[in-house]
Amino acid sequence: MQSTKQIVQRLIKRHGTNDPTTIARKMGILILFEDFKNIWGYFNMSKRVPMIHVNRNLDEHLQRFVIAHELGHSIQHPSADLKAVQERLGHSKYQTTADLYAHVTKKMSQETAKKLAKFDPRKGTL
């Protein structure tokens, strides 16, 4: 089994970029920017179309983080999505499931933004 670092290095080499948005689009993943209240984003498949949904209210660095994170989900567990979790748990509303799994506090958001501001894509380190 490949490590996450090996998978990322392979993707960068294959697609000639380390930009997660470009990689996702080259992989045929639709990226949608939407208004969310309590979630940063999620990955799902609909009619065999892979999609990354991103909270448009996040700053650019956090949107990039969300795309990279959800791209990882699309690669590591392509058949698992929040809609399937909703159905499995019996929630009548998608938002109920999304809210339940959105464990992001303001402090976590600020800490992530600080780390991403220090990110050096040439080294792949924070």
* Residue ranges per structural domain of the chain: 4-117
pLDDT value of position 38: 82
Taking only the tens place, the pLDDT of each residue in 55-96 is 999 999 999 999 999 998 888 766 666 677 677 677 788 777
Rounded Cα gap, residues 79 and 43, in angstroms: 10
Assess contact for 38 and 98: CB atoms under 8 A: yes
pLDDT value of position 126: 45
pLDDT value of position 60: 93
Query: Mean pLDDT throughout 100-111?
Result: 54
Mean pLDDT of the chain: 79
pLDDT value of position 16: 93
Fold designation for 4-117: Zincin-like (3.30.2010)
